[in-house]
């Protein structure tokens, strides 16, 4: 391992799984955030972890033509984005190549991978911001945590968050200062506001602000809320969430609606969803709609089909396909997501859908028949039990939506004897970050 404080000179030859530039130097591996393939630079070693040295850029000797000026002022320090310095077409190329590599090295398959579908405007896409507030040098700040730390990097404009949220959070910080409402200090266990959460609707003019507080009530709460409303008339509801625990979990159990209806409504592919402070909802609704529509065009659904939507979350994919099939069964392990899903189906008058709260691997083994499977497991992927059941049931069409190409490629190994891979289509759901979403369409041989 290289000692902390060592200065090295090296050339970046690839990217890590989390999007850092990788340098190989005399059997040492160095990960450098913001370094671009082809660049040669002086690197300061900051720390090591499990066999890897982590460094930061001191001076770039050879600058890549793919380097761009980051839109964000704190791009390197902040742990949120990895690719602010890399041109957007190159970000998409990186994502396509990651998927290709996963299939090549893990599934041992040389499949065609389509070019990653990106956004026309890859900034300001997040519909949810959840930021701690702190006092640094007597100033109230909000922001993200530094890479691999619990120290906040103050941000006034996050370029991947909705512009409306950026404006509101800045206004709230100012009003907090005017009202002398202290941000919560974890070490001293003192102060009132811990986090501010803002959720915006893409299709309706609705915005929810959640103030996470360390106490039930605080001085001049009504006046404080009234000023927030006055300065930000676009806010449609304000909720107080009370979290008195000494924990990293942001939201507490108890909530009180201070203004409006306590939730917002947004829609995906024409279906409306209630979104409250804790609801799961896709954070890039523009790309989510593209992805759902893509799924619908790939699956040649029939009115006689039974479709299983496994790992269904709040039921969005199943609901978006329900009018094309006989019935949809959604299976999801989180009870609160299932509850939201049931309510959403009812409100949209979707009747041919059933929601099961269960482990997908357990549930699929109970099924006798299946025409179409859509599966969207978490990052760790599916399980051998689930995939064995798929091989037994042999639905004619499968859509596998994945947020980790490596576990996707591992799982495809179980299916490749009985299924032909028709399409592999990456989607950029999270521009500027290393995250990759992939849709695979499999058809029974």
Backbone dihedral angles phi then psi of residue 10, each to the nearest 5 degrees: -160, 175
- Is 376 a binder of ligand SAH (CB under 6 A)? yes
Taking alpha carbons only, the member of 391, 393, 411, 392 closest to residue 401 is 411
Taking alpha carbons only, the member of 122, 287, 299, 116 closest to residue 202 is 287
Q: Are 359 and 385 in contact (CB under 8 A)?
A: no
- Is 283 a binder of ligand SAH (CB under 6 A)? no
Q: How far is the CB of 359 from ligand SAH (least distance, A)?
A: 4
- Is 166 a binder of ligand SAH (CB under 6 A)? no
- Is 270 a binder of ligand SAH (CB under 6 A)? no
Helix H or strand E segment including 236: none
Determine the Cα–Cα distance for residues 145 and 32; give it in Å rounded to an integer: 18
Q: Which stretch binds ligand SAH (CB under 6 A): 30-38, 150-158, 193-201, 307-315?
A: 307-315
- Is 316 a binder of ligand SAH (CB under 6 A)? yes
Respond yes or no: is residue 12 known to be catalytic.
no
Identity of the residue, 251 or 333, whose beta carbon is nearer to ligand SAH in the bound complex: 333
Identity of the residue, 36 or 374, whose beta carbon is nearer to ligand SAH in the bound complex: 374
Taking CB under 6 A as the criterion, the residue among 279, 312, 344, 425 binding ligand SAH is 312
Identity of the residue, 118 or 313, whose beta carbon is nearer to ligand SAH in the bound complex: 313
Taking CB under 6 A as the criterion, the residue among 99, 141, 328, 337 binding ligand SAH is 337
- Is 411 a binder of ligand SAH (CB under 6 A)? no
Q: How far is the CB of 427 from ligand SAH (least distance, A)?
A: 12
Determine the Cα–Cα distance for residues 283 and 12; give it in Å rounded to an integer: 32
Strands (E), 222-300: 237-242, 254-259, 264-268, 271-275
Taking CB under 6 A as the criterion, the residue among 317, 429, 440, 442 binding ligand SAH is 317
Taking CB under 6 A as the criterion, the residue among 108, 378, 392, 420 binding ligand SAH is 378
Q: Are 273 and 250 in contact (CB under 8 A)?
A: no
Determine the Cα–Cα distance for residues 304 and 297; give it in Å rounded to an integer: 17
211 Cβ contact list (under 8 Å, min separation 6): 172, 193, 196, 238, 239, 240, 241, 258
* Residues that bind ligand SAH in the complex, under the rule CB under 6 A: 280, 282, 311-313, 316-317, 331-334, 337, 359-360, 376-378
Which amino acids are annotated catalytic? Answer: 403
């Amino acid at each position: 391992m290289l000692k902390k404080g060592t200065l090295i000179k090296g050339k970046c030859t690839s990217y890590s799984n989390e999007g850092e530039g990788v340098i190989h130097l005399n059997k040492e591996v160095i990960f450098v955030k913001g370094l671009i393939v082809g660049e040669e630079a002086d690197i300061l070693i900051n720390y090591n972890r499990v066999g890897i040295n982590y460094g930061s850029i001191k001076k770039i000797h050879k600058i890549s033509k793919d380097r761009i000026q980051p839109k964000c002022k704190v791009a390197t320090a902040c742990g949120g984005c990895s690719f602010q310095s890399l041109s957007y077409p190159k970000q998409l190329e990186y994502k396509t190549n990651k998927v290709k590599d996963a299939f090549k090295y893990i599934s041992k398959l040389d499949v065609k991978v389509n070019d990653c579908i990106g956004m026309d405007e890859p900034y300001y896409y997040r519909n949810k911001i959840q930021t701690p507030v702190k006092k640094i040098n007597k100033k109230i700040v909000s922001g993200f945590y530094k890479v691999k730390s619990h120290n906040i990097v103050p941000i006034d404009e996050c370029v991947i968050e909705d512009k409306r949220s950026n404006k509101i959070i800045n206004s709230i910080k100012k009003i907090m200062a005017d009202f002398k409402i202290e941000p919560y200090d974890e070490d001293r266990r003192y102060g009132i506001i811990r986090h501010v959460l803002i959720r915006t609707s893409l299709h309706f003019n609705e915005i929810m602000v959640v103030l996470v507080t360390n106490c039930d009530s605080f001085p001049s709460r009504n006046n404080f809320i009234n000023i927030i409303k006055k300065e930000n008339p676009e806010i449609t509801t304000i909720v107080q969430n009370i979290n008195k625990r000494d924990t990293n979990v942001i939201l507490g159990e108890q909530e009180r609606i201070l203004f409006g209806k306590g939730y917002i409504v947004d829609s995906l592919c024409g279906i409306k969803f209630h979104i409250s402070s804790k609801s799961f909802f896709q954070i890039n609704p523009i790309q989510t709609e593209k992805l759902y529509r893509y799924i619908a065009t790939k699956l040649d659904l029939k009115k006689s089909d039974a479709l299983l939507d496994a790992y269904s979350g709040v039921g969005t994919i199943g609901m978006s396909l329900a009018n094309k099939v006989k019935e949809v069964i959604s299976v999801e392990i989180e009870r609160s997501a299932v509850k939201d899903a049931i309510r959403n189906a009812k409100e949209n008058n979707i009747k041919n859908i059933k929601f099961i709260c269960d482990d997908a691997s357990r549930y699929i083994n109970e099924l006798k028949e299946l025409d179409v499977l859509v599966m969207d497991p978490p990052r760790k992927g599916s399980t051998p039990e689930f995939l064995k059941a798929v091989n037994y049931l042999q639905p004619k069409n499968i859509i596998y939506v994945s947020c980790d190409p490596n576990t996707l490629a591992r799982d495809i190994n179980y299916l490749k004897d009985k299924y032909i891979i028709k399409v592999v289509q990456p989607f950029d759901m999270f521009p500027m970050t290393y995250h990759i979403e992939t849709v695979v369409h499999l058809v029974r041989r």
